[in-house]
Amino acid sequence: MKVWVKRIALGILALALIYAVGRFIDVYLGSFYSGERAPYLMMPAPHAMTLRWQTLEPGRGRVRFGRTAGKLDQQLTETSVAEEHELRLQKLEPATRYYYQIENQPAGKPEKIIYSGKDYWFVTPPRSGQAAPVRFAVLGDPGKAGVVQTEVRDALLDWLKKNPRPRRLQPDLDLLLTTGDNAYRSGSNKQFQQGFFSPYERILKNVPVWPVYGNHDARRWAFFDIFSFPTQAESGGLASNAEHYYSFDYANVHFIMLDTQAGSMKVGSDMLDWLKRDLAATRQDWIVAAFHHPPYSHGSHNSDEHRDSGGRMTRVRENVLPMLEAAGADLVLSGHSHMYERSYLLRCHYADSDNLQENMLLDKTSGRETPYKKPGRDAYSGTVYTVIGSSAKTNDGSLDHPAMAVSLAEAGSVLVDIDNQIMTVRFITQQGRVVDQFSIQKTAGRGQAIPCS
Ligand SMILES: [Fe+2]
């Protein structure tokens, strides 16, 4: 080989090495954040709640808690000094409001109260299986700080204030779900602070959050350090033994959170094997599933394009949807496309939009005036698919997927109410208008489970 060819090859190799080292350092550094992070709640269970927060100064964290703001008669203290803090309060009573105060004790210094007052509280979930009213909000692709994000958040909070639930104990919201891409642009720890924790601070201190993993979260290593996930069914469901995917129960609802970004969606993969067992095990009245990549979207991503997003939308449609529908899943939430799209009550549509057949649409109304009706949790009795990816920005798209009853290039959030046998879903825009609303009602008795032909 000629000398100049060798030199060029070595030069290219050196450049590739420099790029790889630079990228590694960038990714590594991106998983750290030094500074304060206000308290946030995770893994709620009828008898337990996880509290997390971060301090600039390392210290030993302590949570004092009790049923009245003026009488915090229980406490739990960390065993080591750290900046990132996590304590799981145990032996709590179900459906009970607890107030809390957080203290930090740096080594060799006096203890300091850092979060305190009547605004710091949470409410534990009711017993699993109990048909208590549930209200949860869904933010999709929320982690981009700016005017859209702030206005969507405020419109949701405003709507909740104007439409409170009747019982005084109930908080405005029981849970906050996300559909992934929780921090733009790369899911670094610092970006999580700017794009997620700071803007949603006043929600997160009272309302437990359940996030899913999106492609932007996957660019750094922070996501799994920041959040706590129930690998051992700490909040109900079936233990997944994985942080990437899990399930949990809240009242009479079973929630399933999947990783469509890094998780294999091949038939027989760990995630789908667990999903099959989890679905077979649950006896809950309702099933809600959330994951990042939408099975149907003609938005800023096109689910008919098999190369779009590495084929994840195709794989989720072909391999995950048949399992969910066979178990009678009611509502599927995804994001990724930065718009709002919402399907009819649907079954057995696992191919491209061209192949949508009339008999796959179980109800061709919008579900607003008359609720969609489903017999119990029968297999293939219909599922509504919602793309909510516009809680922080909107993009263009053809918005003409024939499975969709509603397609809007509008920013907003989704609010779900489940009260015993009826579910109501609303899309609340950046301006605070409810521009889509539908209900699903479970009917008594069993219908006929008709497999897909
Ligand atoms: Fe995405």
Of the candidates 408, 391, 415, the residue with the CA atom closest to the CA atom of residue 159? 415
Distance 389 CA to ligand 1 centre (A): 8
Distance 367 CA to ligand 1 centre (A): 28
Distance 396 CA to ligand 1 centre (A): 15
Q: Under 8 Å CB-to-CB from 21, ≥6 apart: which residues?
A: none
Q: Under 8 Å CB-to-CB from 139, ≥6 apart: which residues?
A: 152, 176, 177, 178, 179, 200, 388, 391, 413
Locate the domains of the chain by residue range.
37-123, 134-443
Q: Which is more confidently placed, 387 or 376?
A: 387
Distance 140 CA to ligand 1 centre (A): 9
Reported as a single tens digit per residue, the pLDDT across 8-45 is 888 888 888 888 777 666 666 666 788 999 999 999 99
Q: Tell me what the mean pLDDT of segment 195-201 comes to.
A: 96
Tell me, what amino acid is at 82?
Answer: A
Q: Under 8 Å CB-to-CB from 220, ≥6 apart: which residues?
A: 27, 30, 31, 186, 187, 188, 189
Q: Tell me what the mean pLDDT of segment 313-329 comes to.
A: 97
Asked if residue 435 lies in contact with residue 411, where contact means CB atoms within 8 angstroms, the answer is no
Q: Tell me what the mean pLDDT of segment 224-232 comes to.
A: 96
CA quadruple 143, 144, 146, 151: dihedral sign: negative
Asked if residue 217 lies in contact with residue 183, where contact means CB atoms within 8 angstroms, the answer is yes
Q: Tell me what the mean pLDDT of segment 198-221 comes to.
A: 93
Distance 45 CA to ligand 1 centre (A): 29
Distance 422 CA to ligand 1 centre (A): 31
E strand or H helix that includes residue 202: helix 201-204
Q: What is the pTM of this model?
A: 0.94
Asked if residue 227 lies in contact with residue 189, where contact means CB atoms within 8 angstroms, the answer is no
- What CATH code is assigned to 37-123? 2.60.40.10
Quick one: pLDDT at residue 415?
A: 98
Distance 259 CA to ligand 1 centre (A): 12
Q: Tell me what the mean pLDDT of segment 65-86 comes to.
A: 96
Strands 286-290 and 253-257: parallel
Tokens for 367, please give them. 């579900």
Q: How many whole angstroms from its chain centre is CA 7? A: 51
Quick one: pLDDT at residue 448?
A: 66
Assess whether pLDDT exceeds 70 at residue 446. Answer: no
> Cα–Cα distances in Å, from 274 out to 107, 116, 286, 323?
44, 41, 19, 11
In the predicted model, what is the mean pLDDT of the chain? 93
Reported as a single tens digit per residue, the pLDDT across 395-409 is 989 999 999 999 999
Distance 310 CA to ligand 1 centre (A): 12
Distance 143 CA to ligand 1 centre (A): 11
Asked if residue 385 lies in contact with residue 356, where contact means CB atoms within 8 angstroms, the answer is no
Q: Kindly state which CATH superfamily the domain 134-443 is placed in.
A: Metallo-dependent phosphatases (3.60.21.10)
Of the candidates 329, 360, 320, the residue with the CA atom closest to the CA atom of residue 344? 360
Q: Under 8 Å CB-to-CB from 450, ≥6 apart: which residues?
A: 380
Helix/strand/coil (H/E/C) assignment for every residue in 268-325: CCHHHHHHHHHHHHCCCCEEEEECCCCCCCECCCECCCCCHHHHHHHHHHHHHHHHHH
